[in-house]
Amino acid sequence: MKTPGEVLREGELEKRSDSLFQLWKKKRGVLTPDRLRLFPAGPGTRPKELRFHSILKVDCVERTGKYVYFTIVTTDHKEIDFRCAGESCWNAAITLALIDFQNRRALQDFHSRQQRDAAAEQPEAQTARAP
């Protein structure tokens, strides 16, 4: 079982800015089982976090020359563009971590539903036995 603070991958990737010129900004990425943290190049600035509960999918993977380009689509349908060195495989690591997170959440939801259903059935069973 993976712990939320465990680092799955750490290294450099680039994020396309939202500005008019859409420049590529180098970031230090830290991937954990529940989020992707992006640290800017400058010291003293806070990292941005993409929590997996707010990510729908990793999309539009394209390899051109030395870079792999990919898009993270959030639950509010915002698209965030990234690129990384082809051999770094950030897109695959993020996709696998996201799938693992979604599977763990689905199992938790399933177990919660089972417990809720079992608790709801217990009073009915006790009432049915009363004289």
Residue 62 within a domain = yes
DSSP helix/strand/coil, 45: coil
DSSP helix/strand/coil, 111: helix
Residue 126 within a domain = no
43-47, 107-111, 125-129, range with the lowest pLDDT: 125-129
Total domains in the chain come to 1
Residue 106's pLDDT is what?
A: 93
CATH of the domain at 13: 2.30.29.30
Joined tokens for residue 11: 């290294």
Q: What does the chain come to in residues?
A: 131
pLDDT tens column, 25-83: 999 999 999 999 999 977 777 899 999 999 999 998 899 989 999 999 999 999 999 99
Residue 130 within a domain = no
Which domain covers residue 33, as residue numbers? 9-118
Rounded Cα distance, 76 and 72, in Å:
11
Residue 3 within a domain = no
Rounded Cα distance, 52 and 7, in Å:
14
